[in-house]
A and B are shown apart, each in its own frame.
Chain A
Amino acid sequence: MILIVPQTQFRRRLTRAIALPIVLLLLLSGISIWQTTRLLSALDWVDHTSRVISQANSAQNLLLDMETGFRGYLLTGEQEFLEPYEQANRLIEPRLEELKTLVSDNPSQVERVVELTASFQRWEQQVLPAIARRQRGELEPLSDLRGRKQIMDQMRQQIAEFISTEERLRSQRSQTAQATTQSVILTSLLLAAGIGAMLAYFIYRQILWVSRVYKDALQTAQLRTQEAEQSAISLQRSARRLAALHDIDRAILAAELDRPLIGKALTKMRQVVKFQQAFVAIFDLEAETAQVLASNSQVGELALPVGTRLTVADFALEQTMLNGVRYVQNLSTAETCPPVLVQLRAQGFLSCLSVPLRVDHTLVGELNLASTEPAAFDEEAQEIAFEVANQLAIALEQTRLRTQLQNYAALLEQRVSDRTAQLEETNQELEAFTYSVSHDLRAPLRTIHGFANALLEDCGEQLDDLGRNYIASIMEDAAQMNGLISDLLNYSRLTRTQISLQPTKLAEVVEDALKQLTAQIQERQAQIEVAAALPGVMAHRSTLIQAVTNLIGNAIKFVEPTTQPQIDIFAEETYHNGRRWIRMWIVDNGIGIAPEHQERVFRVFERLHGAESYPGTGIGLAIVRKGLERMGGQVGVESQLGRGSRFWIALPMAVPPSHNLTHDPTPPNSSH
Chain B
Amino acid sequence: MSTEHTILLVEDNPKDVFLVQRAFRKANITTLVQVVSDGDAALQYLNGEAPYSDRATYPLPVFVLLDLKLPRRSGAEVLAWIRQQPQLRRLPVVALTSSREYTDVNRLYDLGANAYIAKPPDFDQLVDILKTLNLHWITYNEKPQLGLM
B99: CB under 8 A from chain A?
Answer: yes
A454: CB under 8 A from chain B?
Answer: yes
* B101 contact set on A, CB distance < 8 A: 434-435, 438, 493
Give the shortest distance, in Å, between B10 (CB) and chain A (any CB). 15
Interface centre among A446, A454, A497 (most CB of B within 10 A): A446
A439: CB under 8 A from chain B?
Answer: yes
Majority secondary structure of chain A interface residues (helix, strand, loop or mixed)? helix
**A482 touching B121 in the complex, CB below 8 Å, given contacts A439-B69, A447-B16, A450-B19:** yes
A68: CB under 8 A from chain B?
Answer: no
B119 touches A446 (CB 8 A): yes
A 478-528 contacts with B by CB, 8 A: 478-479, 482, 489, 493, 497
Q: Report how far A71 CA is from B19 CA in the complex, Å.
A: 220
Q: Report how far A449 CA is from B101 CA in the complex, Å.
A: 22
Q: Report how far A453 CA is from B68 CA in the complex, Å.
A: 25
B140: CB under 8 A from chain A?
Answer: no
A 363-396 contacts with B by CB, 8 A: none
B98 touches A450 (CB 8 A): no
For B121, give its contact among A434, A439, A445 (CB under 8 Å). A445
A447 touches B19 (CB 8 A): yes
B102 touches A493 (CB 8 A): yes
Closest B-chain residue to A442, C-beta based? B98
Count B-side interface residues using an 8 Å CB cutoff. Answer: 21
B65: CB under 8 A from chain A?
Answer: no
A439 touches B126 (CB 8 A): no
B97: CB under 8 A from chain A?
Answer: yes
A435 touches B99 (CB 8 A): yes
B98 touches A453 (CB 8 A): no
A 439-485 contacts with B by CB, 8 A: 439-440, 442-443, 445-447, 449-451, 453-454, 478-479, 482
Closest B-chain residue to A434, C-beta based? B101
* B69 contact set on A, CB distance < 8 A: 439-440
* B122 contact set on A, CB distance < 8 A: 449, 453, 479
**A454 touching B16 in the complex, CB below 8 Å, given contacts A438-B100, A442-B121:** no
Interface centre among B16, B98, B119 (most CB of A within 10 A): B98
* A431 contact set on B, CB distance < 8 A: 103
Give the shortest distance, in Å, between A658 (CB) and chain B (any CB). 27
Give the shortest distance, in Å, between A122 (CB) and chain B (any CB). 187
Q: Report how far A99 CA is from B80 CA in the complex, Å.
A: 179
B15: CB under 8 A from chain A?
Answer: yes
B81: CB under 8 A from chain A?
Answer: no
A446 touches B98 (CB 8 A): yes
Q: Report how far A478 CA is from B121 CA in the complex, Å.
A: 8
Give the shortest distance, in Å, between A439 (CB) and chain B (any CB). 4
Q: Report how far A454 CA is from B124 CA in the complex, Å.
A: 10
A451 touches B19 (CB 8 A): yes
A 101-124 contacts with B by CB, 8 A: none
A446 touches B121 (CB 8 A): yes
A443 touches B121 (CB 8 A): no
Q: Report how far A438 CA is from B69 CA in the complex, Å.
A: 12
**A497 touching B19 in the complex, CB below 8 Å, given contacts A445-B121, A482-B121:** no
Give the shortest distance, in Å, between B18 (CB) and chain A (any CB). 8
19 A-B pairs in the complex with CB atoms less than 8 angstroms apart: A438-B98, A438-B100, A438-B101, A439-B69, A439-B97, A439-B99, A440-B69, A443-B13, A443-B119, A446-B16, A447-B15, A449-B121, A450-B15, A450-B126, A453-B123, A479-B121, A493-B100, A493-B101, A493-B102
List B residues at the A interface (Cβ < 8 Å): 13, 15-16, 19, 22, 68-69, 97-103, 119-124, 126
- Contacts A453-B124, A493-B100, A493-B102 known; list 14 others, CB within 8 Å: A431-B103, A438-B99, A438-B100, A439-B97, A443-B13, A446-B98, A447-B13, A447-B19, A450-B15, A450-B19, A450-B123, A451-B19, A454-B19, A478-B121
